Amino acid sequence: MPLFESESLVLRSYDLSEADRIVVFFTRAHGIVRGVAKGAKRLKSRFGSSLEPFSTVNLQYFQKDDRELVSIQHVELADSRFDAAADPDFLRTFAYFADLLTAMLPPHDPSETTFRMAKACISANWHGQDELAAVRLYFELWLLRLGGYLPDWSNCGECGRTLPVSGDVGIWRDLHLICGECAGSRQMATVSAVQRDIFLSIQRLAPIAFVEGARSQTEAVRELSGFLRQIIANVVGRELMAERSFAVNS
């Protein structure tokens, strides 16, 4: 049985039996990995506090070819988020990220870029609701982009013409944008120039730089998030739990 090793984010864990837990990791080298942590529920577990959600760890595990669940051997804590996990707003946002990653990424399929993006979003210190809303949008957009699901918002989805930089543009049911000529007299929601600018700037900027710049654009950030969540719901075939709670509270 080969031993694998990778830097990993702990996404969540749940009880398997009286003493054991199942832990879901997002590993840098192998993507989403689910494993059994034997004895993790015992008071003096060899895993200590290294399996707390949203920690960055160095993970070692054995994998049998025919088993989806790997056997967790050793977990070394590199960076914890105990502080953030004690805050319900952080917890909800990070749990949403974990939901998105496990719903959208196939297991054992590595994505270095997605790992770096997720780690940057989880390991930074965000301040308050507006920053968390901005980082959620950042995360949603990048996950869609890296999965190949992000629509091209620089051209009309029907005639292919480049859209004007200024002004509102119609957004059609499949969440492509439609130029004024193609839209004709159809009634549809619109996307503002500010929202399209945010859409592009996320793709150029690191999360901290984006979140800083988005401070004065709270409403546009939340509306844009609403559009992207419709795409996500189409991709995963359901609404994510945490997504509903943001809709209610934000």
Amino acid at 43: L
* Minimum distance, C-beta of residue 153 to Zn ion, in the bound complex (Å): 13
Rounded distance between C-alpha atoms, residue 52 and residue 13, angstroms: 8
Closest CB to Zn ion among 156 and 242? 156
Cα distance from N-terminal residue to C-terminal residue, the chain? 48
Cα separation, 228 vs 238, in Å, equals 14
> Are the CB atoms for 110 and 30 separated by under 8 Å?
yes
**Minimum distance of Zn ion from residue 199's CB (angstroms):** 18
How do strand 31-37 and strand 21-27 relate by DSSP bridges? Answer: antiparallel
Q: Give dist(CA 164, CA 21) in Å, integer.
A: 54
Nearer to Zn ion, 183 or 221 (CB): 183
**Residues forming the site for Zn ion (CB under 5 A):** 156, 158-159, 179, 182
According to DSSP, residue 45 is labeled: -
* Shortest separation between residue 181's beta carbon and Zn ion, angstroms: 5
Compute the least distance from the CB of residue 37 to Zn ion, in Å.
Answer: 54
C-beta of 182 vs 194, nearer to Zn ion: 182
Tell me whether residue 31 or residue 170 sits nearer to Zn ion (CB atom): 170
